[in-house]
């Protein structure tokens, strides 16, 4: 009887020892994973830049991707400017809203074009004639080999009247300089020396 009790005690010790080994291995595995995860998170955070823009908005940018993304951002910036500046509807308030948003992306050279069109009564004719003008940007060729950067935009305009649709070619040229990012200028570029180098009729389609 006493031998059997000793045997039971020995079996219990073996089970306890097995459970202890399993528990220790499990704790060690959790510890190793936690340390590895913490180092991975710290490395990921180290490669991020947090920029506080005048206390209003928090922007996150991956430092290693910023240079590679600038050409893409430049094309988006120029495309957005053209879409806002050349998309017109027979609504004076909508025209002013679009033009104002476009002028946040450019310097006075674009404003001079706007004032010239305004003085010639172009916007008044859009409203009074119930005309719509839409633009499709085909391509934006940016040159980043020098600074300021340069961009040439190739686009098509459609001027829609009740009786016909006029398609026009539009080619513009401008410089691009880096500027401060903001809600009104998320890409951080400013268009300079904006000029229209071609704007001619391609065809007129009856409606």
How confident is the model over 105-138, as pLDDT tens digits? Answer: 999 999 999 999 999 999 999 999 999 999 999 9
Whether residue 52 lies inside any domain: the answer is no
* Predicted local distance difference test score (pLDDT) of residue 68: 72
Question: What domain range is 35 assigned to?
Answer: 2-46
Whether residue 71 sits in one domain with residue 37: no
What's the whole-number mean pLDDT along residues 150-175?
96
Whether residue 94 lies inside any domain: the answer is yes
The enclosing domain of 131 has a CATH number of 3.10.450.230
Task: Report the domain count for the chain.
Answer: 2
Closest CA to 101 of 114, 91, 90: 114
Distance of CA 140 to the CA centre of its chain: 16
How far, in Å, CA of 205 to CA of 166, rounded? Answer: 6
Whether residue 79 sits in one domain with residue 6: no
Whether residue 71 sits in one domain with residue 36: no
Return the number of other C-beta atoms located less than 10 Å from residue 81's C-beta: 26
The full DSSP string for 136-160 is EEEEEEEE-SSSSEEEEEEEEEEEE
Whether residue 84 lies inside any domain: the answer is yes
Q: What length is written for the chain?
A: 207
Whether residue 100 lies inside any domain: the answer is yes
């Amino acid at each position: 009887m006493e031998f059997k009790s000793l045997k039971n005690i020995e079996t219990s010790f073996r089970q306890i020892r097995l459970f202890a080994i399993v528990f220790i291995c499990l704790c060690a595995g959790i510890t190793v994973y936690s340390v590895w995860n913490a180092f991975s998170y710290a490395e990921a955070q180290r490669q991020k830049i947090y920029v506080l823009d005048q206390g209003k908005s928090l922007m996150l940018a991956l430092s290693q991707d910023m240079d590679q993304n600038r050409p893409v951002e430049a094309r988006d910036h120029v495309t957005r400017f053209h879409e806002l500046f050349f998309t017109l509807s027979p609504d004076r308030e909508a025209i002013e809203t679009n033009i104002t948003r476009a002028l946040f992306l450019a310097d006075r050279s674009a404003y001079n074009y706007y004032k010239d069109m305004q003085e010639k009564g172009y916007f008044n004719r859009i409203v009074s004639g119930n005309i719509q003008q839409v633009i499709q940007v085909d391509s934006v060729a940016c040159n980043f080999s020098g600074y300021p950067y340069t961009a040439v935009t190739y686009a098509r305009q459609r001027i829609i009247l009740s009786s016909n649709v006029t398609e026009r070619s539009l080619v513009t040229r401008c410089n691009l300089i880096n500027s401060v990012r903001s809600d009104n200028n998320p890409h951080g570029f400013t268009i300079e020396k904006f000029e229209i180098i071609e704007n001619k009729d391609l065809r007129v389609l009856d409606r």
